[in-house]
Amino acid sequence: MRALVTGGTGFVGGAVTRELLDRGHSVRVFARDGSKSAALESVGVEIARGDILDRDSLTTALIGCDALFHAAAIYEMYVPDREVLMRTEIDGTRNAFEAALAAGVRRVVYTSTSACVGERRGETGNEETLHRGYYLYDYEEAKHKAELVAREYADRIPTVTIRPAAVIGPGDLKATGTSMVNFLNGRLPAIFPGVLSYVAINDVAAAHVSAAEQGHWGETYCLAESILTIRELFRTLADLSGRKPPFTVPAWMAGIYARFEEWKARRTGNPPLMTRASFRLATHGFRIDGAKASRELGITYTPVPEALREAIAWYWTNGLLSVRPACV
Protein backbone atom coordinates (compact mmCIF):
# COMPACT_ATOMS: atom_id res chain seq x y z
CA MET A 1 0.00 0.00 0.00
CA ARG A 2 1.26 3.48 -0.86
CA ALA A 3 -0.52 5.96 1.37
CA LEU A 4 -0.78 9.69 1.80
CA VAL A 5 -1.35 10.82 5.39
CA THR A 6 -2.76 14.29 5.98
CA GLY A 7 -1.89 15.64 9.41
CA GLY A 8 1.10 13.30 9.51
CA THR A 9 3.20 15.75 11.52
CA GLY A 10 0.55 15.80 14.28
CA PHE A 11 -0.21 13.56 17.24
CA VAL A 12 -2.64 11.06 15.68
CA GLY A 13 -1.43 11.42 12.08
CA GLY A 14 2.16 10.93 13.17
CA ALA A 15 1.27 7.72 14.99
CA VAL A 16 -0.60 6.44 11.92
CA THR A 17 2.46 7.25 9.78
CA ARG A 18 4.77 5.28 12.07
CA GLU A 19 2.35 2.33 12.15
CA LEU A 20 2.21 2.25 8.36
CA LEU A 21 6.02 2.26 8.19
CA ASP A 22 6.27 -0.50 10.81
CA ARG A 23 3.98 -2.67 8.70
CA GLY A 24 6.07 -2.16 5.58
CA HIS A 25 3.91 0.31 3.70
CA SER A 26 5.16 3.27 1.68
CA VAL A 27 4.15 6.62 3.19
CA ARG A 28 3.94 10.18 1.96
CA VAL A 29 2.92 12.90 4.45
CA PHE A 30 0.96 15.97 3.42
CA ALA A 31 2.16 18.94 5.48
CA ARG A 32 1.89 22.69 5.42
CA ASP A 33 4.92 24.88 4.77
CA GLY A 34 6.78 25.35 8.02
CA SER A 35 5.55 22.11 9.61
CA LYS A 36 8.36 20.19 11.32
CA SER A 37 9.07 17.10 9.25
CA ALA A 38 12.79 16.35 9.71
CA ALA A 39 12.13 13.35 11.97
CA LEU A 40 9.79 11.82 9.40
CA GLU A 41 12.15 12.48 6.50
CA SER A 42 14.99 10.82 8.42
CA VAL A 43 13.09 7.51 8.39
CA GLY A 44 12.24 7.64 4.71
CA VAL A 45 8.91 9.46 4.67
CA GLU A 46 8.31 11.62 1.61
CA ILE A 47 6.87 15.07 2.38
CA ALA A 48 4.37 16.75 0.06
CA ARG A 49 3.77 20.41 0.90
CA GLY A 50 0.34 21.99 0.68
CA ASP A 51 -2.82 22.83 2.58
CA ILE A 52 -6.05 20.87 2.91
CA LEU A 53 -7.95 24.01 1.96
CA ASP A 54 -6.07 23.96 -1.36
CA ARG A 55 -7.64 21.07 -3.27
CA ASP A 56 -5.13 21.21 -6.13
CA SER A 57 -2.19 20.71 -3.77
CA LEU A 58 -3.95 17.70 -2.26
CA THR A 59 -4.64 16.19 -5.66
CA THR A 60 -1.01 16.59 -6.65
CA ALA A 61 0.17 15.01 -3.39
CA LEU A 62 -2.08 11.99 -3.97
CA ILE A 63 -0.68 11.12 -7.40
CA GLY A 64 0.77 7.62 -7.24
CA CYS A 65 -1.00 6.75 -3.97
CA ASP A 66 -3.67 4.08 -3.62
CA ALA A 67 -4.80 5.04 -0.10
CA LEU A 68 -5.55 8.23 1.79
CA PHE A 69 -5.47 8.52 5.57
CA HIS A 70 -7.18 11.85 6.28
CA ALA A 71 -6.15 12.78 9.82
CA ALA A 72 -5.59 16.54 9.42
CA ALA A 73 -7.70 18.53 11.87
CA ILE A 74 -7.66 21.33 14.40
CA TYR A 75 -7.84 19.11 17.46
CA GLU A 76 -8.29 21.78 20.12
CA MET A 77 -10.84 22.53 22.81
CA TYR A 78 -10.27 26.27 22.45
CA VAL A 79 -10.25 27.82 18.97
CA PRO A 80 -10.90 31.58 19.06
CA ASP A 81 -11.78 31.70 15.34
CA ARG A 82 -14.79 29.42 14.88
CA GLU A 83 -14.84 30.02 11.12
CA VAL A 84 -11.29 28.67 10.72
CA LEU A 85 -12.25 25.54 12.66
CA MET A 86 -15.35 24.91 10.54
CA ARG A 87 -13.55 25.48 7.23
CA THR A 88 -10.64 23.25 8.20
CA GLU A 89 -12.82 20.34 9.26
CA ILE A 90 -15.71 20.58 6.79
CA ASP A 91 -14.16 22.10 3.66
CA GLY A 92 -10.91 20.27 4.30
CA THR A 93 -12.72 16.94 4.42
CA ARG A 94 -14.59 17.66 1.20
CA ASN A 95 -11.33 18.67 -0.48
CA ALA A 96 -9.69 15.45 0.70
CA PHE A 97 -12.37 13.25 -0.84
CA GLU A 98 -12.60 15.25 -4.04
CA ALA A 99 -8.81 15.09 -4.41
CA ALA A 100 -8.87 11.34 -3.77
CA LEU A 101 -11.42 10.86 -6.53
CA ALA A 102 -9.47 13.07 -8.93
CA ALA A 103 -6.22 11.20 -8.25
CA GLY A 104 -7.80 7.76 -8.59
CA VAL A 105 -7.23 6.74 -4.96
CA ARG A 106 -8.95 3.44 -4.19
CA ARG A 107 -9.56 3.73 -0.44
CA VAL A 108 -9.82 6.29 2.36
CA VAL A 109 -9.49 5.98 6.14
CA TYR A 110 -11.05 9.05 7.72
CA THR A 111 -10.15 10.15 11.26
CA SER A 112 -13.23 11.42 13.03
CA THR A 113 -13.83 11.49 16.80
CA SER A 114 -16.09 9.69 19.24
CA ALA A 115 -17.42 13.12 20.16
CA CYS A 116 -19.51 12.71 16.98
CA VAL A 117 -21.48 9.90 18.64
CA GLY A 118 -23.53 12.51 20.47
CA GLU A 119 -24.79 10.23 23.26
CA ARG A 120 -27.23 11.70 25.76
CA ARG A 121 -26.33 12.36 29.38
CA GLY A 122 -25.82 9.09 31.23
CA GLU A 123 -25.89 7.02 28.03
CA THR A 124 -22.96 4.93 26.73
CA GLY A 125 -22.69 5.51 23.01
CA ASN A 126 -21.48 3.33 20.16
CA GLU A 127 -21.55 3.22 16.36
CA GLU A 128 -25.35 2.81 16.31
CA THR A 129 -26.19 5.66 18.70
CA LEU A 130 -28.36 8.43 17.28
CA HIS A 131 -26.87 11.88 17.84
CA ARG A 132 -28.70 13.85 20.53
CA GLY A 133 -29.39 16.66 18.03
CA TYR A 134 -27.42 19.45 19.67
CA TYR A 135 -23.72 20.14 20.21
CA LEU A 136 -21.79 20.63 23.42
CA TYR A 137 -18.93 22.56 21.82
CA ASP A 138 -17.59 23.78 18.47
CA TYR A 139 -15.16 20.92 17.81
CA GLU A 140 -17.94 18.35 18.14
CA GLU A 141 -20.10 20.31 15.69
CA ALA A 142 -17.27 20.74 13.18
CA LYS A 143 -16.28 17.06 13.23
CA HIS A 144 -19.89 15.83 13.09
CA LYS A 145 -20.59 17.97 10.03
CA ALA A 146 -17.31 16.85 8.46
CA GLU A 147 -18.28 13.23 9.04
CA LEU A 148 -21.57 13.88 7.23
CA VAL A 149 -19.51 15.20 4.31
CA ALA A 150 -17.43 12.02 4.30
CA ARG A 151 -20.61 9.93 4.11
CA GLU A 152 -21.63 11.74 0.92
CA TYR A 153 -18.76 9.95 -0.84
CA ALA A 154 -19.52 6.47 0.51
CA ASP A 155 -20.90 5.22 -2.82
CA ARG A 156 -17.96 6.61 -4.82
CA ILE A 157 -14.89 5.63 -2.81
CA PRO A 158 -14.44 2.86 -0.20
CA THR A 159 -14.11 4.52 3.21
CA VAL A 160 -13.62 3.51 6.84
CA THR A 161 -14.33 6.05 9.59
CA ILE A 162 -12.33 5.85 12.83
CA ARG A 163 -13.74 7.59 15.92
CA PRO A 164 -11.18 7.72 18.78
CA ALA A 165 -12.20 8.75 22.29
CA ALA A 166 -9.82 10.99 24.27
CA VAL A 167 -6.37 9.86 23.07
CA ILE A 168 -3.52 9.46 25.55
CA GLY A 169 0.08 8.35 25.28
CA PRO A 170 3.56 9.54 24.28
CA GLY A 171 3.44 12.79 22.34
CA ASP A 172 0.08 13.94 23.69
CA LEU A 173 0.18 17.70 24.18
CA LYS A 174 -3.49 18.29 23.41
CA ALA A 175 -6.20 18.97 26.01
CA THR A 176 -5.75 15.76 28.03
CA GLY A 177 -1.97 15.76 27.79
CA THR A 178 -1.68 19.41 28.78
CA SER A 179 -3.79 18.87 31.89
CA MET A 180 -1.61 15.89 32.80
CA VAL A 181 1.61 17.89 32.41
CA ASN A 182 0.14 20.70 34.50
CA PHE A 183 -0.77 18.23 37.23
CA LEU A 184 2.66 16.56 37.17
CA ASN A 185 4.27 20.01 37.47
CA GLY A 186 2.05 21.00 40.40
CA ARG A 187 0.02 23.52 38.40
CA LEU A 188 -3.33 21.73 38.65
CA PRO A 189 -4.43 21.96 42.26
CA ALA A 190 -8.04 20.89 41.71
CA ILE A 191 -10.32 18.88 39.44
CA PHE A 192 -14.11 18.74 39.04
CA PRO A 193 -16.68 15.92 38.70
CA GLY A 194 -16.85 14.48 35.20
CA VAL A 195 -16.63 11.33 33.09
CA LEU A 196 -14.54 10.71 29.95
CA SER A 197 -13.53 7.79 27.71
CA TYR A 198 -9.89 7.09 26.87
CA VAL A 199 -7.84 5.15 24.32
CA ALA A 200 -4.08 4.76 23.84
CA ILE A 201 -2.43 6.37 20.83
CA ASN A 202 -0.81 3.10 19.68
CA ASP A 203 -4.26 1.46 19.55
CA VAL A 204 -5.61 4.37 17.49
CA ALA A 205 -2.79 3.97 14.97
CA ALA A 206 -3.24 0.19 14.80
CA ALA A 207 -6.98 0.55 14.19
CA HIS A 208 -6.41 2.91 11.26
CA VAL A 209 -3.99 0.63 9.46
CA SER A 210 -5.83 -2.61 10.28
CA ALA A 211 -9.06 -1.15 8.90
CA ALA A 212 -7.33 -0.40 5.60
CA GLU A 213 -5.51 -3.72 5.41
CA GLN A 214 -8.60 -5.78 6.22
CA GLY A 215 -10.89 -3.82 3.92
CA HIS A 216 -13.73 -2.97 6.30
CA TRP A 217 -15.13 -0.46 3.80
CA GLY A 218 -18.27 1.39 4.80
CA GLU A 219 -17.74 0.68 8.50
CA THR A 220 -17.37 3.09 11.41
CA TYR A 221 -15.35 2.20 14.51
CA CYS A 222 -15.38 3.89 17.90
CA LEU A 223 -12.15 3.43 19.88
CA ALA A 224 -12.25 3.43 23.68
CA GLU A 225 -10.57 1.27 26.32
CA SER A 226 -11.99 2.72 29.52
CA ILE A 227 -14.69 5.01 30.84
CA LEU A 228 -13.27 6.82 33.86
CA THR A 229 -14.25 9.65 36.11
CA ILE A 230 -11.79 12.53 36.12
CA ARG A 231 -11.04 11.66 39.72
CA GLU A 232 -10.12 8.08 38.75
CA LEU A 233 -7.83 9.29 35.99
CA PHE A 234 -5.91 11.69 38.19
CA ARG A 235 -5.74 9.22 41.06
CA THR A 236 -4.00 6.83 38.67
CA LEU A 237 -1.67 9.64 37.58
CA ALA A 238 -0.94 10.40 41.23
CA ASP A 239 -0.12 6.74 41.96
CA LEU A 240 2.23 6.55 38.96
CA SER A 241 3.98 9.85 39.59
CA GLY A 242 4.17 9.89 43.37
CA ARG A 243 2.20 13.13 43.63
CA LYS A 244 -0.80 13.74 45.83
CA PRO A 245 -4.16 13.53 44.03
CA PRO A 246 -5.78 16.92 43.38
CA PHE A 247 -8.85 17.76 45.42
CA THR A 248 -12.26 18.02 43.76
CA VAL A 249 -14.21 21.27 43.55
CA PRO A 250 -17.93 21.58 42.72
CA ALA A 251 -18.83 21.68 39.04
CA TRP A 252 -20.28 25.19 39.25
CA MET A 253 -16.98 26.50 40.55
CA ALA A 254 -15.08 24.84 37.68
CA GLY A 255 -17.51 26.39 35.20
CA ILE A 256 -16.78 29.87 36.51
CA TYR A 257 -13.05 29.19 36.35
CA ALA A 258 -13.31 28.00 32.72
CA ARG A 259 -15.10 31.21 31.71
CA PHE A 260 -12.46 33.27 33.50
CA GLU A 261 -9.63 31.38 31.76
CA GLU A 262 -11.13 32.00 28.32
CA TRP A 263 -11.69 35.67 29.16
CA LYS A 264 -8.03 35.91 30.14
CA ALA A 265 -6.92 34.04 27.00
CA ARG A 266 -8.73 36.50 24.73
CA ARG A 267 -6.82 39.35 26.33
CA THR A 268 -3.37 37.81 26.68
CA GLY A 269 -3.24 35.46 23.69
CA ASN A 270 -2.11 32.63 25.98
CA PRO A 271 -4.10 29.37 25.88
CA PRO A 272 -6.51 28.86 28.78
CA LEU A 273 -5.65 26.28 31.45
CA MET A 274 -9.25 25.11 31.24
CA THR A 275 -11.94 25.64 28.61
CA ARG A 276 -15.70 25.72 28.64
CA ALA A 277 -15.67 22.99 25.98
CA SER A 278 -13.73 20.61 28.24
CA PHE A 279 -16.03 21.47 31.12
CA ARG A 280 -19.21 20.85 29.11
CA LEU A 281 -17.95 17.56 27.70
CA ALA A 282 -16.82 16.15 31.04
CA THR A 283 -19.84 17.25 33.06
CA HIS A 284 -22.23 15.99 30.39
CA GLY A 285 -20.29 12.71 30.32
CA PHE A 286 -18.32 11.22 27.43
CA ARG A 287 -19.10 7.50 27.56
CA ILE A 288 -18.04 5.40 24.58
CA ASP A 289 -18.09 1.64 23.93
CA GLY A 290 -15.15 0.53 21.79
CA ALA A 291 -16.03 -3.18 21.63
CA LYS A 292 -16.77 -3.31 17.89
CA ALA A 293 -13.21 -2.32 16.97
CA SER A 294 -11.87 -4.97 19.31
CA ARG A 295 -14.05 -7.66 17.71
CA GLU A 296 -13.68 -6.74 14.05
CA LEU A 297 -10.23 -5.13 13.83
CA GLY A 298 -8.52 -7.39 16.36
CA ILE A 299 -7.52 -4.49 18.60
CA THR A 300 -6.33 -5.54 22.05
CA TYR A 301 -6.67 -2.30 23.95
CA THR A 302 -3.75 -1.01 25.99
CA PRO A 303 -4.86 -0.52 29.62
CA VAL A 304 -5.12 3.15 30.53
CA PRO A 305 -2.53 2.92 33.37
CA GLU A 306 0.02 1.54 30.90
CA ALA A 307 -0.73 4.31 28.39
CA LEU A 308 -0.40 6.89 31.17
CA ARG A 309 2.94 5.42 32.28
CA GLU A 310 4.26 5.65 28.71
CA ALA A 311 3.02 9.24 28.42
CA ILE A 312 4.66 10.26 31.71
CA ALA A 313 7.96 8.74 30.61
CA TRP A 314 7.76 10.67 27.34
CA TYR A 315 7.05 13.95 29.16
CA TRP A 316 10.06 13.37 31.39
CA THR A 317 12.39 12.39 28.54
CA ASN A 318 11.38 15.49 26.59
CA GLY A 319 12.05 17.86 29.47
CA LEU A 320 8.44 18.81 30.17
CA LEU A 321 8.45 17.85 33.84
CA SER A 322 10.19 19.68 36.69
CA VAL A 323 10.37 16.66 39.05
CA ARG A 324 11.20 13.08 38.11
CA PRO A 325 8.02 10.96 38.41
CA ALA A 326 8.11 7.81 40.55
CA CYS A 327 7.30 5.53 37.61
CA VAL A 328 10.27 6.70 35.51
Tens of pLDDT, residues 157-171 = 999 999 999 999 999
SS3 per residue for 126-188: CCCCCCCCCCCCHHHHHHHHHHHHHHCCCCCCCEEEEEECEEECCCCCCHHHHHHHHHHCCCC
For 130-139, write each residue's pLDDT tens digit.
999 999 999 9
Q: What is the pTM (predicted TM-score) of this model? A: 0.95
Residue 232 has pLDDT above 90, yes or no: yes
For residues 22 and 68, give the distance between their C-alpha atoms in angstroms, rounded to a whole number. Answer: 17
Residue type, 317: T
How many Cα atoms sit within 13 Å of 15 on the Cβ side?
19
Question: Domains in the chain and their CATH numbers?
Answer: 2-172+197-226+287-302 (3.40.50.720)
- Are 158 and 105 within 8 A, CB to CB? no
pLDDT tens column, 104-132: 999 999 999 999 999 999 999 999 999 99
For the segment 253-290, what is each residue's pLDDT rounded down to a tens digit?
Answer: 999 999 999 999 999 988 888 899 999 999 999 999 99
Residue 188's pLDDT is what?
Answer: 87
Does 242 score more than 80 pLDDT?
Answer: yes
